[in-house]
């Protein structure tokens, strides 16, 4: 029920509608809840509505962060001979 997925917005249409594509499947959705979305954005679609956008820079940062040491642990380990 809450399983929404990031899809790419490939076209904006009149009436606050947009076309998204995921794995070759296209679907018309409402973009009324994210009025500043532009073509090319990845939006999270839930029950036929885009509810938010993906920030590419933050996504990259999160991937880079995965599994890294916490600052504290990193400092401790660096202090080891």
Partner 1 sequence: MKYIDEFRDGAIAKKIQARLHAEAQPARQYSFMEFCGGHTHAISRYGIGELLPHNVRMIHGPGCPVCVLPIGRIDLAIQLALERGAIVCTYGDTMRVPASGGLSLVRAKARGGDIRMVYSGADALEIARREPGREVVFFAIGFETTTPPTALTIRTAQQEGLKNFSVLCCHVLTPSAITHILESPEVRQFGTVPIDGFVGPAHVSIVIGSAPYEHFAEEYRKPVVIAGFEPLDVMQAVLMLVRQVNEGRAEVENEFTRAVNRDGNLHAQALVSQVFELRNSFEWRGLGEVPYSALKIRPAFAEFDAERRFGLGYQPVPDNKACECGAILRGVKKPTDCKIFGTVCTPENPVGSCMVSSEGACAAHYSYGRFKDIAVKVEVAA
Q: Which is nearer to partner 1, 1 or 80 (CB)?
A: 1
Query: Among 10, 12, 39, 59, which residue sits at the site for partner 1 (rule: CB under 8 A)?
Result: 59
Residue 60 buriedness (CB in 10 A; 0-12 / 13-18 / 19+): exposed
Q: Is 14 in the site for partner 1 (CB under 8 A)?
A: no
CA distance 31 to 48: 9
Residues that bind partner 1 (CB under 8 A): 1-6, 8, 22-23, 30, 32-35, 42, 44, 46-49, 51-56, 58-59, 61-63, 65-70, 72-73
């Amino acid at each position: 029920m809450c399983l929404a997925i990031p899809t790419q917005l490939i076209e904006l249409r009149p009436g606050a509608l947009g076309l998204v594509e995921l794995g070759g499947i296209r679907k018309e959705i409402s973009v009324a809840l994210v009025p500043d979305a532009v073509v090319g954005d990845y939006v999270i679609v839930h029950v036929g509505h885009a509810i938010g956008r993906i920030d590419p820079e933050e996504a990259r940062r999160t991937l880079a962060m995965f599994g890294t040491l916490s600052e504290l642990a990193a400092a401790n380990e660096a202090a080891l001979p």
